[in-house]
Structures are given as structure tokens and as C-alpha cells.
Amino acid sequence: MAEILTKSRARNIFYGGSIFFVLVFAGMTVQSHRYVVQTSTAGMPLSEEVVRGKHVWERNSCINCHSLHGEGAYFAPELGNVTTRWGVQDSPEDAFFMLKGWIESQPSGIEGRRQMPRYEMSDEDIRALSEFLRWADQTDTQGWPPNDAG
């Protein structure tokens, strides 16, 4: 590379090429943003409850034990498809009662089993959370996860 590729040429390729890739990436981001809003998450309205549920999810840092659509920690089960696993994806009422039952029975206290902390949550928060999880579950994730085990 000695003669053909001088230092200043290498530098110009670096700057020019980077700008090119940033522009391509920006364009694809805009398109992807639209696709998310109009197609992949359009199956269920992004209601106030869902938004509140997302805040509850964040406030309690659930992501640092669980994964959601495969991202997060690996200490506890995947929750992006939990309403499918529980068979409550189509029923807000069932989803709420299942989740309330679950949260209020923690921690299990079983010796040698990973523990989920006890969260003191109002019914409104639990309902918001179950709606958020139902909402996440209806996302078109290109067929992931491979099965209901998550």
C-alpha cells in the first residue's frame, strides 16, 4: 500500500466514506422509524396505559434481570412474549389478574432458586404494566423468539 495509498489519501477516504455511511444510515433510520409506527407496532394502540406501564417497567429496572425482545439481562426469563406464554395476549382482564397474582407472590423464598423482589404496586400500576407487556408482545419481531419458551 506504500505508494498508491498515501497518508492524505487514506485520510480523505476516511472522511468522505464516513459521511457517505452516516447519510445512508440516517436515511434508513427515518424509514425504519416510519415502519415501526405504521406497521410493526400498529396492532394495538399506544394508549396512556401502555405508556404508563413502560414507566413502571423502567422505574423498577426490570431490564436488569429480564430480557425484553432479547435485550437486557439474562438472569430471569424473556418477557417480550410472556403474555403469549401465559395465554393472555388477547385478554386485558386475564393479563392483569395473572400479573397481579405473580407480583404479589414474590419473592418465592425457595432455597436455591433465583428470587424476584417484592414490588409494592397499586392495581393501576399493575394494569399499566400488563397492558405494556401485551403491547410489546404484539410487536412484529420477524418471528422471534423461535418458540414460546422465549
Whole-number Cα distances in Å, 87 to 5, 16, 52, 84: 61, 52, 23, 5
Sites for another protein among residues 27-66 (CB under 8 A): 28-29, 31-33, 35-37, 40-41, 46, 50-51, 54, 57-65
Taking contact as CB under 8 A, which single stretch among the options 93-101, 123-131, 135-143 is the one that binds another protein? 135-143
Q: Largest Cα–Cα distance in the chain?
A: 72
x/- mask, another protein, residues 87-126, rule CB under 8 A, reads --------------------x---xxxxx-x---------
**Ordered alpha helix ranges (H), 36-122:** 48-59, 82-85, 92-104
- Interaction between residue 75 and ligand HEM (CB under 6 A): yes
CB 124 within 8 A of CB 49: no
Q: Whose Cβ is closer to another protein: residue 117's or residue 122's?
A: 117
Binding footprint of another protein, residue count (CB under 8 A): 71
3-state SS class at 113: coil
Does 70 sit near ligand HEM (CB under 6 A)? Answer: yes
